[in-house]
Amino acid sequence: AAGGLVDFLDMELAYGDEKIRETLRMLENSSVSLIVSFHDFEKTPPKEVLFSTLAAEIRAGAHVAKLAAMPRNEEDVLALLSATLLVRREYPHIPLITMSMGGIGAVSRVTGGLFGSDLSFAVGSKASAPGQIPVAALKQCLSVLHPLES
């Protein structure tokens, strides 16, 4: 970060507020932004927990708040999108990255921007998480949802 080799540093919320504050102090005189993230590869917590987790990331000082969860059913995907929308309305100035993983959650990677997620992940040559869509397919889907922005 000090050498300007990265643009973003991603740190799990689980490291705690003190470690996050320490990292933010380290980044003060750099152009590097801190992503504070939470991943649940087993399940999707309830909407209220998703909201409070993203809010905790923001209160901890995140320049970007990120949350990824594994859905067990379609309602879990809706909970993630709903929580994203609530956080977007409550904290309009903080960039958000949210996604529901796996096949069921792939729709969140396409429609997340409609609910307040500012970034999605796509597959270049090899997926780094379940449910990622190949970049060409994601680009095509996004051009349908956002025809004037493509």
Q: Where in the sequence numbering do the catalytic residues fall?
A: 39, 66
Backbone angles phi, psi at 3, to 5 degrees: -85, 0
Return the percent helix, strand and coil in the chain, to nearest 5. Answer: 45, 20, 35
Q: Give first-to-last CA distance, the chain, whole Å.
A: 32
Count other Cβ atoms within 10 Å, centred on residue 75: 12
| Burial state string for 55-69 with b = 16 or more CB within 10 A and e = fewer than 16 | bebbebebbbbbbbb
CA–CA gap between residue 1 and residue 3 (Å, rounded) = 5
- Which of 29, 23, 20 lies closest to 58 in space, CA to CA? 20
Query: How many C-beta neighbours within 10 Å does residue 35 have?
Result: 18
